């Protein structure tokens, strides 16, 4: 009975979403306050029913209700309860439901915290979000029903994909979706601004905290995904330019451009149309990403579904959302354009250059990701684009961004003097060169590692110089407003990230070796001793577990236990063992037995020593923190002026020159 209730809840939610999507927009257009007032209660009602549907699906998993097809496919009696909850979003249908749930979380938050917004504007924003919800709910109801029955009911279910049975998996998709879906808020603001024309120009300020928060969630989701790939999937790699990773990375890149463009638009009024275009891109790429991952058009470990009806629906939905919003943009953008002129040497210029780089990088990733589809459509044969394509182009595109990073905060809006920049240039150059020379002695002339140290010091010291300048020049309490602190944290995070990427990529030592019990291998300054393999078991798997003792200078520093797990349906999953550290990770993965009939004998092992690899995720976490801190700035909450007040937000002169 409960699955049918879930189905019913979804249908009711869709009807409410329809009301939320249509009536307020008509109301805002006609100036009918009664219709505009529908937005809030309709959104709340939709959220209640979606939450109910989601809760019922969780309940079905917890109660082992194998009469539900989706539950039977993705869980079994031996699966622990926490993985049964994670299994809710472990495949296509449930992850779509999670998407809608999170859309409702954002919508309700927006409705609750935006009481100061002009009535018509808020009605339009909620209306746009309602239309998006209708699209997704119809997709679930008509093509991907998670509550479909399976009769007769099987005594036991299948299994959750073993690569998804990891603590990271319980965490990664919801956070990632918070980011994806969060961009729908920025999108709704932009569409509302286009619909409203020139009447409400303060909208960018209202959109900023939401965009920053969404971007921070997306950052967190990508970091978690990368960590999960490192520990669980990838034999020690942290990024593969896999279509699915790219799917989350494209909106992230456009998101970086968007939050900077929003800052320009809010403070100076310029780049307004560009900001709107970016928020359309960010959301379109989020949609594309969601569907790319789940529709199975691209061969990837993450792809679950392959149903032509879904593909068709997705294509139509994307065409309506992207085509419709771009059409609206083409018609209305000239009405919202404007703003102050800026000189060549100004903060606007630097942000614009970085914006272009990030946008082009996103386009480059998009091309590489979709190229197999393009090649297929044009009958060029079965083509794939290898990681070196991305690995070659991406650093090139990011180089100008890293080089300009220290100067951004020092530049003034509008027009800047060259004088102060020269001293910044001198200091960061001296610091970077000095550290590079010192580093050269430690890394034995590895060019990429030296470049990594130099680039990291360049951006890190550049950021710290600005921190120092504010400390010296501003009175206590006004030194670091949250918005600025967030920016500095994120910029500093880039430096940390660069250390991680360039040092771990260039200095890592990998050994694929054959080891019999008692054999030793030396990796860098570490000696790995293989002490054999024995059998072990967990709640729903059995495994061969290796014992590897790591020695340094004759001292035992760790005993590691990599596993080769076998799950009920015969899927095999490698569980690596990691000895973490701030300056290095040791990583051991069990390959295969050399002789399948003699498990006690020799095995293939992969041994890694990865210096500074943790800094990659550390840098990402700094960026995430920056996003959240900036979103929390009081100015975004307190300073919400009524719509009629000026293009220029109220800003003390000093602040805007800083």
Partner 1 sequence: MNPTRKRRLIIVLLVLAAAVVAVGLTVFALQQNMNYLFTPSQVRSGQAEAYKTFRLGGMVKAGSIQRSGKSLQVGFTVVDADGAMPVEYTGILPDLFRDNQSVIATGHMDGDHFVATEVLAKHDETYMPKELKDAMEKAHHGGKAVAASGMPQ
Check residue 383 for interaction with partner 1 (CB under 8 A).
yes
Cβ closer to partner 1: 91 or 439? 91
Check residue 272 for interaction with partner 1 (CB under 8 A).
no
Cβ closer to partner 1: 358 or 526? 358
Cβ closer to partner 1: 322 or 373? 373
Stretch binding partner 1 (CB under 8 A), from 140-148, 352-360, 525-533, 641-649? 352-360
Assign 600 to helix, strand or coil: coil
The span from the CA of 592 to the CA of 575, in Å, is 12
Check residue 171 for interaction with partner 1 (CB under 8 A).
no
Cβ closer to partner 1: 510 or 536? 510
Whether 276 and 333 have beta carbons less than 8 Å apart is answered as yes
Integer distance in angstroms from the first to the last C-alpha of the chain? 63
Check residue 345 for interaction with partner 1 (CB under 8 A).
no
Sketch the per residue contact string, 584 through 623, with partner 1: x for CB under 8 A, - otherwise.
-----x-xx-x---------x-x-----------------
Backbone angles phi, psi at 141, to 5 degrees: -65, -40
Using CB under 8 A, which of 316, 327, 341, 447 touches partner 1? 341
Whether 292 and 304 have beta carbons less than 8 Å apart is answered as no
CA contacts within 13 A on the Cβ side of 370:
16
Check residue 521 for interaction with partner 1 (CB under 8 A).
no
Interface of this chain with partner 1, residues 225 to 244, rule: CB under 8 A: 235
CB 43, min distance to partner 1, A = 39
CB 183, min distance to partner 1, A = 24
Backbone angles phi, psi at 336, to 5 degrees: -100, -5
Check residue 21 for interaction with partner 1 (CB under 8 A).
no
CB 35, min distance to partner 1, A = 40
The pairs formed by 358-363 with CB atoms below 8 angstroms and a separation of 24 or more are: 358/253, 358/254, 358/256, 358/257, 358/401, 359/253, 359/254, 359/257, 359/278, 359/281, 360/397, 361/253, 361/393, 361/394, 361/397, 361/398, 362/250, 362/253, 362/254, 362/257, 362/281, 362/285
Instruction: Decide: residue 301, CB within 10 A, 0-12 exposed, 13-18 middle, 19+ buried.
Output: middle
CB 108, min distance to partner 1, A = 39
The span from the CA of 562 to the CA of 553, in Å, is 23
The span from the CA of 528 to the CA of 512, in Å, is 12
Cβ closer to partner 1: 399 or 641? 399
Check residue 403 for interaction with partner 1 (CB under 8 A).
no
* Closest-CA residue to 588 (of 622, 555, 549): 549
Identify the bridge partners of residue 509 per DSSP, sorted by sequence position: 609
Using CB under 8 A, which of 85, 109, 199, 393 touches partner 1? 393
Check residue 475 for interaction with partner 1 (CB under 8 A).
no
The span from the CA of 585 to the CA of 568, in Å, is 32
Cβ closer to partner 1: 238 or 390? 390
Beta strands in 22-80 (DSSP E): none
Assign 446 to helix, strand or coil: coil
Using CB under 8 A, which of 352, 465, 484, 548 touches partner 1? 352
Stretch binding partner 1 (CB under 8 A), from 114-122, 275-283, 325-333, 374-382? 374-382
Using CB under 8 A, which of 141, 326, 353, 467 touches partner 1? 353
Check residue 554 for interaction with partner 1 (CB under 8 A).
no
Binding site residues, partner 1, CB under 8 A = 235, 296, 299-301, 306, 341-344, 349, 352-353, 356-357, 360, 363-364, 367-368, 371-372, 376, 381-389, 392-393, 396-397, 512-514, 564, 569, 571-574, 589, 591-592, 594, 604, 606
């Amino acid at each position: 009975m409960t699955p049918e209730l879930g189905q019913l809840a979804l249908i009711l939610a869709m009807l409410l979403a329809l009301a939320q999507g249509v009536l307020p927009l008509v109301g805002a257009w006609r100036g009918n306050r009664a219709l505009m007032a529908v937005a809030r209660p309709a959104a709340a009602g939709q959220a209640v029913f979606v939450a109910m549907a989601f809760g019922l699906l969780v309940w079905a998993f917890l109660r082992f209700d194998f009469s539900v097809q989706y539950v039977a496919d993705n869980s079994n009696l031996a699966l622990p309860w926490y993985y049964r909850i994670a299994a809710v979003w472990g495949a296509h249908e449930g992850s779509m439901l999670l998407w809608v749930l999170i859309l409702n979380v954002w919508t309700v938050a927006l409705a609750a915290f935006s009481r100061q917004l002009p009535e018509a504007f808020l009605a339009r924003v909620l209306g746009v979000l309602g239309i998006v919800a209708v699209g997704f709910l119809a997709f679930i109801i008509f093509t991907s029903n998670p509550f479909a029955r399976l009769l007769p009911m099987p005594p036991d279910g299948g299994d959750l994909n073993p690569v998804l049975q990891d603590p990271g998996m319980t965490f990664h998709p919801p956070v990632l979706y918070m980011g994806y879906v969060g961009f729908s808020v920025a999108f709704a603001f932009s569409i509302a601004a286009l619909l409203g024309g020139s009447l409400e120009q303060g909208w960018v300020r209202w959109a900023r905290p939401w965009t920053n928060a969404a971007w921070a969630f997306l950052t967190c989701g990508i970091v978690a995904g990368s960590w999960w790939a490192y520990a669980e999937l990838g034999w020690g790699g942290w990024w593969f330019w896999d279509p699915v990773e790219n799917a989350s990375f494209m909106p992230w890149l456009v998101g970086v451009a968007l939050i900077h463009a929003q800052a320009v638009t809010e403070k100076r009024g310029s780049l307004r149309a560009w900001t709107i275009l970016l928020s359309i891109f960010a959301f379109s790429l989020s949609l594309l990403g969601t569907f790319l991952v789940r529709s199975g058009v691209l061969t990837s470990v993450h792809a679950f579904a392959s149903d032509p009806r879904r593909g068709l629906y997705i294509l139509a939905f994307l065409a309506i959302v992207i085509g419709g919003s771009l059409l609206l943009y083409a018609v209305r953008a000239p009405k919202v354009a404007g703003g102050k002129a800026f000189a060549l040497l100004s903060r606007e210029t630097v942000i614009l250059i970085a914006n272009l780089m990030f946008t082009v990088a996103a386009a480059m990733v998009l091309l590489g990701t979709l190229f197999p589809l393009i090649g297929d459509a044009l009958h060029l044969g079965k083509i794939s684009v290898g990681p070196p394509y991305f690995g070659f182009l991406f650093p090139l595109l990011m180089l100008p961004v890293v080089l300009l990073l220290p100067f951004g905060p020092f530049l003034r809006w509008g027009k800047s003097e060259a004088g102060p920049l020269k001293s910044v240039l001198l200091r960061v150059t001296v610091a970077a060169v000095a550290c590079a020379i010192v580093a050269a002695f430690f890394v034995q002339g590895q060019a990429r590692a030296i470049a990594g140290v130099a680039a990291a010091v360049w951006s890190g010291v550049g950021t710290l110089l600005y921190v120092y300048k504010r400390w010296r020049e501003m009175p206590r309490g006004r030194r670091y407003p949250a918005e600025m602190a967030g920016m500095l944290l994120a910029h500093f995070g880039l430096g940390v990230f660069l250390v991680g990427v360039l040092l771990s990529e260039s200095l890592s030592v990998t050994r694929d070796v054959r080891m019999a019990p008692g054999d030793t291998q030396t990796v860098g300054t570490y000696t790995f001793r293989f002490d054999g393999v024995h059998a072990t078991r967990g709640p729903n798997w059995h495994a061969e577990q290796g014992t590897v003792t790591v020695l340094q200078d004759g001292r035992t520093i760790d005993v590691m236990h990599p596993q080769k797990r076998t799950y009920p349906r015969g899927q095999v999953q490698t569980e690596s063992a990691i000895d973490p550290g701030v300056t290095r990770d040791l990583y051991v993965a069990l390959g295969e037995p050399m002789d399948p009939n003699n498990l006690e004998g020799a095995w293939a092992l992969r041994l890694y020593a990865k210096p500074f690899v943790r800094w990659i995720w550390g840098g990402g976490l700094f960026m995430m923190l920056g996003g959240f801190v900036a979103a929390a700035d009081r100015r975004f909450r307190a300073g919400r002026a009524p719509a009629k007040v000026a293009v220029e937000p109220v800003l003390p002169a000093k602040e805007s020159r800083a």
